[in-house]
Amino acid sequence: MASPAFLPVYGIIQGIERGGQCCEQRVSIQTQNGIVNLMVSPETYVIDNVRLRIGMSVVGFYDANAPVPLIFPPQFRAVVIGRQPSRENITFDYFNRNLVSSNNSLKLNPSRSTQILTFNGQSFQCRLGNQNLIVYYTNTTRSIPPQTTPSRIIVLC
């Protein structure tokens, strides 16, 4: 079984409709490459419990290894969705014990000023390694993998 590879969808919400079930929503996002539909279910983590609205700039992450219907526009089940920060980058991935992402695209160097929380807003006091993390950061080094000191980390236990 393949490990999860979470891919981002960046764009502006164009529409929100009820999905196939009452507790599910289909969020239509205008990306640079056209419309993408993200299915937001009770299992989807909505960062900071923000209310999704038409016109909002968002980023959603889906599991690239999960099955998807062969329809147009593309439709994915969102694992995480939230407001796209204007001055920060955001990523969601599995980080190993050395805090390197699964695709070796980012290494984390948290500092004392890094805010580290659980998905429900509580302080996280354990080791960050071997976890799925939502990471907010600005600059990275030019090393391989690029390194960053995140401003905020949300741990999805």
How confident is the prediction along the chain (157 residues), in pLDDT tens digits per residue?
446 689 999 999 999 999 778 899 999 999 999 999 999 999 999 999 999 999 999 999 999 999 888 889 999 999 999 999 989 999 999 999 999 999 899 999 999 999 999 999 999 999 999 999 999 999 999 999 999 999 999 999 8
Tell me the two tokens of residue 120: 């429900």
Cα–Cα distance between 144 and 9 in angstroms, integer? 24
The pairing of beta strand 6-18 with beta strand 57-63: antiparallel
Identify the pLDDT of residue 4.
64
Identify the pLDDT of residue 1.
40
Q: What is the 3-state secondary structure (H, E, C) of 87-146?
A: CCEEEEEEECCCCEECCCCCEECCCCCCEEEECCCCECCCCCCCEEEEEEECCCCCCCCC
Cα–Cα distance between 150 and 111 in angstroms, integer? 8
- Half-sphere exposure of 143 toward its Cβ, with a 13 Å CA cutoff? 10
